[in-house]
Amino acid sequence: MELLFASQNEHKRIEMASLLLPHSITLPSEIGIEFSYEETADSFVGNALGKAEHLYNLTHKPSFADDSGLIVDALQGAPGIYSARYGSDLFDHELSAAEKNLFLLKNLEHIPPEQRTARFVCAIALIFTPYQRYIIQEAVEGFIAQHPSGEGGFGYDPIFLVGTGTKAMAQFTDSEKNNISHRALAAQKIASILQDIEQKEIVYVC
């Protein structure tokens, strides 16, 4: 099945494609559509649903979107839905991933390890038809490290210690991450929904 992914991020498309095999994941730009959407909702679910609805209304084809971020308890939930823009209001420009990680660590420098609890959250919204809408939200718990580690992943992966261990998300291989990440957990449930939809279509055709 071909699914349109409400994103402009090729890296995320590749990751989603690996998580949703054997389905084909296509960006709007690949079919000649300029896609942009201002994320104004106050939740991951709201932003994901808004993006998916907008793309579906443009194309009338099965569309999905995700919104994800890092929630740090000691920072009252920040950066949260503003994870991609964290620190930009203070520094008057968008920070690189490495700069955001260092800024977050700076804000936690006086917080002891046991109080640095955090979680990655991912919401995925799938619009198959106007009357078939599915929303999944998943999370992976962990802690914020004292310093970045690992070369893999992206975003906050180098400073997020998975579970109660000492291994950062960026230290896992891509295949390992695809078994444990918040995005992987949400995508697995979306894949099950897609399988169910396809099976119902086959039964109907027969």
Q: At what angle do helices 10-19 and 182-205 cross, to 10 degrees?
A: 60
The residues facing 99 across adjacent strands are: none
Paired residues of 72 in beta bridges: 118
Is position 42 annotated as part of the catalytic site?
Answer: no
Q: C-alpha distances in angstroms, 161 versus 41, 80, 184?
A: 28, 17, 17
Catalytic annotation, pick one of 67, 89, 92, 157 = 67
Q: Where are the beta strands (DSSP E) in the chain?
A: 2-5, 24-26, 63-72, 117-129, 132-144, 160-162
Q: What is the DSSP string of 118-166?
A: EEEEEEEEEEEETTEEEEEEEEEEEEE-SS---SSS-TTGGGEEETTSS
Q: Which residues are catalytically annotated?
A: 67
